[in-house]
Amino acid sequence: GENVEQHPSTLSVQEGDSAVIKCTYSDSASNYFPWYKQELGKRPQLIIDIRSNVGEKKDQRIAVTLNKTAKHFSLHITETQPEDSAVYFCAARNYQAGTALIFGKGTTLSVSS
């Protein structure tokens, strides 16, 4: 089955810096890669996603890149703000097999002002 590895497990940056979180997946049939943000004590929420037919997607300060050959995808946050502090999870899915997601173990991002 699918396995998703995520690095780093913790990341500390200064406000205004950029943050990058990287994930690799094992199943070449996976074709959908979302990123979820979970603030302390709250439920995970989707922040951005990318499908396998796209190499990059941006939404304001957030971008995701996908390298299908290397089975690697990354989340990039620019101009970080204290409210970006949270746990970020990458995930992968083969949407032809269902809606279940296989998640990485998460990255705790801390943005200090």
Partner 1 sequence: KAGVTQTPRYLIKTRGQQVTLSCSPISGHRSVSWYQQTPGQGLQFLFEYFSETQRNKGNFPGRFSGRQFSNSRSEMNVSTLELGDSALYLCASSLAGTRTGELFFGEGSRLTVL
Question: Would you tell me which residues interact with partner 1 (CB under 8 A)?
Answer: 1, 6, 32, 34, 36, 42-46, 49, 51, 89, 91, 93, 95, 97-106
Task: Using the structure block, give the residue that is written with the tokens 């994930």.
Answer: 23
Q: Which residues pair with 22 in a beta bridge?
A: 7, 74
Nearer to partner 1, 49 or 63 (CB): 49
Least distance from C-beta 80 to partner 1, angstroms? 22
Q: Closer to partner 1 at the Cβ: 11 or 102?
A: 102
Q: Quick count: other Cβ atoms within 10 Å of Cβ 36?
A: 21
The two tokens of residue 1 are 């089955």
Tokens for 5, please give them: 């590895």
The minimum distance between CB 64 and partner 1, in angstroms, equals 13
Q: Where are the alpha helices (DSSP H) in 6-94?
A: none
- The nearest distance, CB 108 to partner 1, in angstroms, is 10
